[in-house]
Structure 1
Amino acid sequence: MSGCRRCEDRAAKEGQRLPSWRKFEMKSLAVSVAFALGLAVAGSAAAQSAAPLSGSGGSIQAPLFKAWIANYQKDGGKPIAYQGQNSAFGISQIEAKAADFGVTAMPISDADLKAKGLSQFPFVISGTVLVTNVPGLESGKLKLDGKALADIFMGKIGKWNDPALKALNPGLDLPDWPITVAHRTDPASMTLLLTSYLSSVSPEWKAGPGAGETVTWPAGLGGKGNAGISEIMSGTMGTISYVEYAYALDHKLDLVALKNRDGVFVAPSPAAFSAFAAAAPWTASKGFGVQTLDQSGKGTWPLVLVSYGLLRDDADPDRAKRVRDFFRWGYQNGDADITALGYAPVPASVKAAVQAKWK
């Protein structure tokens, strides 16, 4: 096309007029190039829209996505890739447009959702649970309240037969062993939830380590991720730590019962997570964000985690629809996987409210 333009320029300078057939040839060439470029752009957009979906978020939800994606494909759904690290990773990836959906285990405020151009929706419920490696103690039988737990993590209670622990567990034969605290070194929603709880029950903890996805721990050994915690616990008798409930089940870790707001010692379970979900004030106008920390209810577990999916408001319409179709499938067909893995489903009324917003 540049050669034709030079011919036209040269002809104009020489006072010559191009033959009509030559002008027609040049216009036809220009139209052909423009059409080819249009096809290339359209083809590129179509290819991008058809590419496999990708999601990013926490490791907590990874087992569920593995099961959901496999069964979704059996039902005719297209492949989806999920990369699980932590909630901060999920948020950063969706903000950077590096994933089609993000996942976080802590709700984002309505103001921040608007500022980031995101929408969120809950899709599964679990909990941060306390686990021990104390041979002779049956899983779920050890009882702790908030003060004792804070004192253990502060290093103030250093032995399993401490008088404070014996008073909470009069029927248990607690050993004369040192307590070793194992904690996360990487950012984690579970750490934020636990340290927020400790801050709420212990002024000393609130004034010291405080709450955060990472804190400066006053005692114990650090490990990265659930796997790092599990490694410490398996090799050290007398340890106490925190992991996600489904992970604890899968790795057969011994659980601790915790005193809740209503004064009842509750062992973690899907039923205890569902007790929270049934009473929670889910509000669509606030992105379905709910306060999960130590809520009322006799059977409620104090450390509940609600996992949220995140979508960009300016996402490609076709890809956004595919994301919603996947989670809609999960709402309608995924409860069996949720139950089998030790999670709890969100209430049916919440699922209906989310899907109503998607119409």
Structure 2
Amino acid sequence: MSFFQKLTFFLGVLTIPYLLGMSGLFFGHSPPILNGAGGSFPYPLYSKWYFEYTKIDPSVRFNYQPIGSGGGIHQLLSHTIDFAGSDSPIPDTLLTGSSSEVIHIPTVAGAVVIAYNVANIPLLNLNKETISGIFLGEITRWNDPRIVSLNPQATLPDLPIVVIHRSDGSGTTYIFTEYLSKISQRWATLAGKGTSVRWQIGIGAKGNAGVAAAIKTIHGAIGYIELAYALQNDFSMAAIQNQTGQYVAPSMDSVTKAFPRSFDHKDFRISLTDSAEEGAYPIAGLTWILLNINSTPPLRLECLIKFLSWALTDGQTYALPMDYAPLPSSLRQNVLNLLEEVKRKNSLSVFPWSQRGAYWLLLGKECKMSCPNLAIFKNK
């Protein structure tokens, strides 16, 4: 071997580690920015997940806008984002006749709490009659006898009740109004359930943060927000009577008890509201990441599946410290199985994004000919 050949070989060996760190440049692709939008309910946890995951795969970046579940679903079905965050499932009626193939990936569960701003009332019991009465505008003062009878230990003031609700399309609203529709036929008739409903009374505010800000500034206010936002603001929260007659405060333990004992292996649009389980908090709900399989480019879909697989395993350890309930292990395994099935059906590769350029150079056309369905070759 000549000196020039030795030098060429030596430089080639030195170059391989560098190529393994490149991010797809040899295919004309930039490192992916995964664009998402949707619910503010899981936003604190998702922000933590994005931060931690980019330490594992620095080539991936996330851009998630907490515009509300309704807005996220609209953008996903309009093919303007890669994924949506939603606390409300997409009903079959919305997908019928559509070219979209949407899958619901549950990530964690959380509590929608009834927070209030009334001085010197740290504990408050509410049942289905008082909750529906307050949010329908039929109970208008804090010393209403129906509230007083549930709270004999409290001195409730003669103060107007100011209802705060969401003004934007919201999965938090969906969870809350799904609960109300289950426990009150009058609510179901007058207001209904959904990400937006026919509010009979109250002041609208945008996002969980907006509702929290309104509760904090208005004496006598009451509203519904995700537990993490209530804890951040040190709000008083009501204990809610569940199906078994218990008054249950929101906590990760009481949210976990709301899970059913068995799960469908394919359809993860599971409702946790008004659970019949002992000790369950009745206004609990799942939050999902929604993927539109048909419209997501293979490389982006692969990156999302890899991220979600991490979120459902190592990422679950971040849930409890941030006041979300991890998924039960049996449900997580079913969801991971679905992700593997999606990966197989779409012939997605197992090679990390950062190694694809080097993989192409090292294996060349022979691999492309023998493995034409690998995602690394699909856009060539």
TM-score (norm 1): 0.81
2:106 alignment counterpart: 122
1:338–1:344 Cα contact (<8 Å) kept: yes
The reply on whether 1:108 has 2:87 as its aligned counterpart is no
| CA deviation profile, 1:307-344 (whole Å, cap 9, x unmatched) | 11122222322221110111111122112321111011
1:283–1:289 Cα contact (<8 Å) kept: no
In the TM superposition, 1:285-324 aligns within 5 A as 285-286=266-267, 288-314=268-294, 315-324=296-305
The alignment partner of 1:121 has SS state of: strand
- Name the count of aligned residue pairs: 313
Q: Greater helix share, 1 or 2?
A: 1
> Structure 1: where are the runs of 5+ without partners?
1-42
Inter-partner Cα distance in structure 1 for 2:337 and 2:192: 39
Alpha-carbon distance, 1:111 to partner: 6.9
Alpha-carbon distance, 1:280 to partner: 4.9
Equivalent of 2:77, from 95, 114, 128?
Answer: 95
2:312 alignment counterpart: 331
1:72 alignment counterpart: 53
The reply on whether 1:341 has 2:322 as its aligned counterpart is yes
Equivalent of 1:256, from 238, 242, 262?
Answer: 238
| CA deviation profile, 1:35-76 (whole Å, cap 9, x unmatched) | xxxxxxxx9994447322222221112211211111112223
> Structure 2: where are the runs of 5+ without partners?
1-23, 341-380
2:63 alignment counterpart: 81
1:38 alignment counterpart: none
Equivalent of 1:351, from 304, 310, 332?
Answer: 332
Alpha-carbon distance, 1:149 to partner: 0.9
Alpha-carbon distance, 1:83 to partner: 1.6
- Code of the residue aligned with 1:131 in structure 2: it is A
Range that drifts further, 151-160 or 343-352 = 151-160
Distance change in 2, residues 1:351/1:222 (3 Å): same
1:222 alignment counterpart: 204
In the TM superposition, 1:31-70 aligns within 5 A as 46-48=27-29, 50-70=31-51
2:73–2:86 Cα contact (<8 Å) kept: yes
Distance change in 2, residues 1:349/1:200 (3 Å): closer
- Code of the residue aligned with 1:294 in structure 2: it is D
Alpha-carbon distance, 1:163 to partner: 1.2
Say what the alpha-carbon RMSD is for the aligned residues.
2.2
Inter-partner Cα distance in structure 2 for 1:280 and 1:178: 42
Percentage of pairs with the same residue: 32
Larger radius of gyration: 1
